Amino acid sequence: MIKDGGERIATCSGAVLRHPGGLEAVAETWFAPAFWAERGELRDVIAGRGAAWFIGAAGRWVLRHYRRGGWVAHLSTDTYVWHGEKRVRAFAEWRLLAVLFARGLPVPRPVGARYRRSGLVYRCDLIVQRIEGAQPLSALLEAAPLSETLWRAVGAAIARLHAAGADHADLNAHNILIAPERPRGDAAMVSVIDFDRGRLRPPGAWSRGNLARLRRSLEKVSRRMPADRFSAPAWKCLLDGYALHL
């Protein structure tokens, strides 16, 4: 069944969502790490609190299993209360990414999503295209200072998303990826990932909230780094790039 731009495939305990007529024949087995491990095509991703793996030949996709954060994680690590299929978190993120990617915005291409329901709770997973050569902004800061050009490119990428109404619920230094092998200064080298709980909204104060959250994250991750890794001038460069592309 085609719904909201995606092809829904019913399973014994839930459903899979994928692109209609897409090149990838996404099946429920794709969401099981053991399936890829048996093929020798599974590698852990070291980032964030969730469980994530590079999967497929040469690690061409990223599989993420949704996990709870905060105090709720003490009650359940990966189950969510069932409120209907429209509110399944992996499906909502897949559909948001599909819209943003189709508009040419700096996000990964969504490949597939899956949920499994058990009574009043469910678990879910998402597969997206891997952004080749990309590293989290937080990791790059550990290695060396960023150039002014790169800080402006980060700001420009965020501005493009905000101009499209994309509210990121957890914009931080780990969710901004940079592919340094592309020409420096190319805004397309910067991508934003992990749009769980993200949504499209009219212009508003939420965009300032995104930026404030990012600044707090940058201050936190750079606290034990040399002073040149993140500073007031670096933040100004980011805001300059943001203002030029909003």
Report the catalytic residues: 170
Pair of tokens at residue 230: 């993140």
Contacts of 43 (CB under 8 A, 6+ apart): 53, 54, 55, 59
